[in-house]
Chain A
Amino acid sequence: MQPVATTFFFYLLSGLALLGGVLVITRKNAVHSALALILTLLALAGLYLMLYAPFVAGVQIILYAGGIMVLFLFVIMLVNLERSQKEEQFNKQWVIGTVAAVVTGILFVLVFVKSKELPNLVREHVAQLPEQSNTQQIAVFLYGNYMFTFEIASLLLLVAMIGAVVMAKKRI
């Protein structure tokens, strides 16, 4: 299928992602922040789709937007919001924050400018997957080439999960 209005959708989705990100940090109400974060995540999923990575997009939606954010909202609703609403949003360390932001921004710009001079540094290392069997290719990579890494990652997550349960639970 031929892509339609690619540029338009790119700017739309990027704009939405940025807008959501800004809203997340500026909203006083934690629930509004969470909803804005969901907007960002969905826009990112759209960007993944445009990169011919439908599987990643699907996982992004099902895990982040559908799973994790629901749990976020769950927790936010349970805890007392009145106090957090009264708190100062931007605290005293804004100087350091600004410096960090500027430095990171310069870094991004530098990479963008220099990437043309560093031939194929990025492009070579991004696996080019065919759109039709993209999911299948991921499966082959994940369970073939990178099997060991994948298992280690899952083990780490298991450890983290058990640790979280042990820490959160008062008595077992």
Chain B
Amino acid sequence: MKPTTYISRLELGEKDETFLDSNELIINMGPQHPATHGVLRVILKLDGEKVLGTECVIGYLHRGVEKIAENRTYAMFNPYVDRMDYVAAVSNGLGYCEAVEKLLNVEAPPRANYIRVILAELNRIASHQLWLGTHALDIGAITPLFYTFRDREEILKIFEKYCGARLTTHAFRIGGCQYETYEGFEKDVKKFLNFFKPKIDEYEELLTTNRIWVERTKSVGVISGKECRALGVTGPVLRASGVRWDIRKAQPYAAYSDFQFEIPTGQNGDTYDRYLVRMAEMRQSVRIIEQAVAGIPEGPIMAKIPKVLKPPVGEIYHSIEAPKGELGYFVVSDGSTQPYRLRVRPPSFVNLQALDMMVRGQLVADVIAVIGTLDIVLGEVDR
């Protein structure tokens, strides 16, 4: 038996037999490629440098997270969700804990919610920093990567001090938080905010008015608000297209209804706007954290929940605003200690689908820029 080979619909097209026009090229980008942010494989059909069509081949990092969930108890599955979007592990954990809490019909105490918000927003900043560094690297600016990594380090230090882990934090538990904040947590966060605010200006100084950066990103990968909705694209990509929609505002969860913040939006829906939106989002996150640190209430950090979690029979869909977009958990309980079915609605997976639409008719270099601007994490795409 022969090995199975992947047949792309791009390869099935009619072969052009004319003499001078026969320069259509099928290029296989990835799964090992410096700019695909992991093991994404994109099959490109090119006319010279122009992209005629793309097809994403994913699944190289598929670990069957949803299947694992069906074989673990609710509490045991909690650390697994960190491994999906590993650059925003806190958000994953937040979404999962809140979904199960909803199913159990319990609510985390206010102090826990505030801690959750602080950590989730710090994680949003970290995620956007990583995005900025790699996106700039893809477009050819190698320096911002090191700047963002230097500053992201400070966030990871706070995570480490809080829960002992830097990347896959497993910071929250169903029903609240496991750990009380450590001595000096608030001081550390404030120190970081004061340190970080001028750094955003530094990033912007490097890129925002840089001629080449603007030329490389303006009108690249344009997607309108309507197309975003049709394609299910959420997060900063949707907001850059002018749709003022953020789950933190639309359907507030955790303690987000307590805070004043704005939803930054763009107008053109191009790569440059998405860059600006994410930069503005970092500033808004700083604003949220400032308020949360100032107003963090005293009290318990864990709700009263039974030792063995047995949610009543039923289904629940809960979604949060992860750094990449709407991260949803659909949990079906059959009354046992294990989820009967757990479905993750990953933002990266759905956003990646827009790639084909966004790069058609543009150049190879734009494919790189668009993959970067979609901010996908393959761990989440493949699960």
Interfacial chain B residues near A126, Cβ < 8 Å? none
Query: A78 at the A/B interface (Cβ < 8 Å)?
Result: yes
Chain A residues, CB < 8 A from B48: 78
Q: Which residue of B lies closest to A75 (CB)?
A: B20
Q: Any chain A CB within 8 A of the CB of B6?
A: no
- Sort chain B's interface into a size bin: under 10
Find chain A residues with CB under 8 A from B20 CB.
78-79
**CA–CA, A83 and B17, complex, Å:** 10
CB-defined contacts of A79 to chain B, threshold 8 Å: 19-20, 22-23
> Complex formed: what's the CA distance from A79 to B17 in Å?
11
Inter-chain CA distance A79–B25, complex, in Å, is 11
Chain A residues 62-87 with CB under 8 Å of chain B are 78-80, 83
Residue of A nearest to B18 (CB): A80
Residues on the A chain within 8 Å of B22, using CB:
79-80
For B23, the chain A residues whose CB sits under 8 A away are 78-80
Choose among A78, A79, A80, A83 the residue with the greatest number of B CB atoms under 10 Å from its CB.
Answer: A80
Which residues in A have their C-beta under 8 angstroms from that of B19?
79-80, 83
Q: How far is the CB of A73 from chain B (nearest CB, A)?
A: 14
CA separation between A78 and B48, bound complex, in Å? 8
Interface bits A24-47 vs B (CB < 8 Å: 1, else 0): 000000000000000000000000
Q: How many residues of A contact B (CB 8 A)?
A: 4
C-alpha spacing A80/B23, complex, angstroms:
7
Interface residues in B13-33 by Cβ distance below 8 A to A read: 19-20, 22-23
Interchain CA distance A80-B22 in the complex, whole Å: 6
Chain B residues within an 8 Å CB radius of A78: 20, 23, 48
Which residue of the partner chain B has the closest CB to A81?
Answer: B22
Q: Which residues of B contact A83 (CB under 8 A)?
A: 19
Q: In the bound complex, what is the Cα–Cα distance between A121 and B22 (angstroms)?
A: 52
Which B residues lie within 8 Å of A80 (CB)?
19, 22-23
Closest to B25 in A: A78
Q: Which of B22-55 contact A (CB under 8 A)?
A: 22-23, 48
Bound form: Cα–Cα A83–B20 in Å: 12
Question: Once bound together, how far apart are the Cα atoms of A79 and B23, in whole Å?
Answer: 6
Give the shortest distance, in Å, between B237 (CB) and chain A (any CB). 34
Closest-CB distance, B69 to chain A (whole angstroms): 51
Closest-by-CB residue of B relative to A77 is: B23
CA distance A157 to B22 in the complex (A): 30
Alpha-carbon distance between A31 and B318 when the two chains are bound, in angstroms:
61
Q: Give the nearest-CB partner of B20 in chain A.
A: A79
In the bound complex, CA of A80 to CA of B18 (Å): 9
- Per the bound structure, the CA–CA distance linking A2 and B20 in Å amounts to 51
Q: Report Cα–Cα, A80/B20, bound state, in Å.
A: 8
Smallest CB–CB gap between B22 and chain A, Å? 4
The smallest C-beta distance from A41 to any residue of chain B, in angstroms, reads: 25
Rounded to whole angstroms, the CA-CA distance of A80 and B19 in the bound complex is 7
Closest residue of B by beta carbon distance from A80: B22
Alpha-carbon distance between A7 and B379 when the two chains are bound, in angstroms? 71
How far is B104's CA from A16's CA once the two chains are assembled, in angstroms?
87
A83 closest partner in B (C-beta): B19
| Complex Cα spacing A78 to B25, Å | 10
| A79-B24 Cα distance, complex, nearest whole Å | 10
Bound Cα distance A78, B22 (Å): 8
In the bound complex, CA of A89 to CA of B23 (Å): 23
Contact with B along A81-119 (1 / 0, CB 8 A): 001000000000000000000000000000000000000
Please give the distance in Å from A152's CB to the nearest CB on chain B. 32
**Cα(A79)–Cα(B20), bound, Å:** 6
In the complex, A55→B20 CA distance in Å?
A: 36
CB distance from B15 to the nearest CB of A (A): 10
Q: How many angstroms from the CA of A83 to the CA of B48 in the assembled complex?
A: 19
Question: Within the complex, what minimum Cβ distance (angstroms) separates B240 from chain A?
Answer: 33
Query: Smallest Cβ distance from A78 to chain B, in angstroms?
Result: 5
- Distance to closest chain B CB from A106 (angstroms): 38
Q: How far, in angstroms, from A79 to B48 measured CA to CA in the complex?
A: 11
Distance between A58 CB and nearest chain B CB, rounded to angstroms:
33
Chain A's closest residue to B23 (CB) is: A78
A35-B265 Cα distance, complex, nearest whole Å: 55
Shortest distance from the beta carbon of B54 to any chain A beta carbon, whole Å: 21
| Cα A78 to Cα B19 with chains together (Å) | 10
Nearest-Cβ distance from residue A145 to partner chain B, whole angstroms: 43
Q: Mark A48-67, 1 if CB is under 8 A from B, else 0.
A: 00000000000000000000
| Nearest CB of chain B from residue A3's CB, rounded to whole Å | 47
Q: Which residue of A lies closest to B15 (CB)?
A: A80
- 9 additional contacts, CB 8 Å, given A79-B23, A80-B19? A78-B20, A78-B23, A78-B48, A79-B19, A79-B20, A79-B22, A80-B22, A80-B23, A83-B19
Contacts A/B (CB < 8 Å), 11 sampled: A78-B20, A78-B23, A78-B48, A79-B19, A79-B20, A79-B22, A79-B23, A80-B19, A80-B22, A80-B23, A83-B19
Binding site for A on B (CB under 8 A): 19-20, 22-23, 48
The 4 closest A-B pairs by CB, nearest first: A80-B22, A78-B23, A79-B20, A79-B19
